[in-house]
Structure 1
Amino acid sequence: MITIKTTINAPIEKVWQFWTLPEHITKWSFASPDWHSQYAENDLRVGGKFTTNMAAKDSSMSFDFEGEYTLVQQNEAIQYRIGDGRKVEITFKETPDGVEIIESFDPETQNPEEMQRAGWQAILDNFKKYVENN
Structure 2
Amino acid sequence: METVKTNTITVEATVNAPVSKVWKLWTGAEHITNWCNASDDWHAPYAENDLKVGGKFTTTMAAKDGSFSFDFGGIYDVVEENKLIEYTMGDGRHVSVTFEQQGNQTKVVETFDAENQNSEEMQRSGWQAILDNFKKYTEAN
- State how far apart, in whole Å, the 2-side matches of 1:116 and 1:93 are: 23
- Return structure 1 stretches of 4+ with deviation > 6 angstroms: none
- State how far apart, in whole Å, the 2-side matches of 1:63 and 1:31 are: 14
* Residue identity opposite 1:119 in structure 2: G
Q: TM-score, normalised by structure 2?
A: 0.94
Q: Number of paired residues?
A: 134
User: Is 1:74 aligned to residue 81 of structure 2?
Assistant: yes
The Cα of 1:97 is off from its aligned counterpart by: 5.8
Q: 1:36 aligns with which of 43, 57, 70?
A: 43
CA contact (8 A) 2:85 2:97 kept: yes
- State how far apart, in whole Å, the 1-side matches of 2:83 and 2:16 are: 16
Q: TM-score, normalised by structure 1?
A: 0.99
User: Is 1:8 aligned to residue 15 of structure 2?
Assistant: yes
- State how far apart, in whole Å, the 1-side matches of 2:103 and 2:13 are: 14
Name structure 2 gaps, 5 residues minimum: 1-7
RMSD (Å), alpha carbons: 0.7
The Cα of 1:96 is off from its aligned counterpart by: 3.2
Partner of 1:58: 65
Percent identity (aligned): 61
The structure that has the greater radius of gyration is 2
The Cα of 1:80 is off from its aligned counterpart by: 0.1
Partner of 1:116: 123
Partner of 2:109: 102
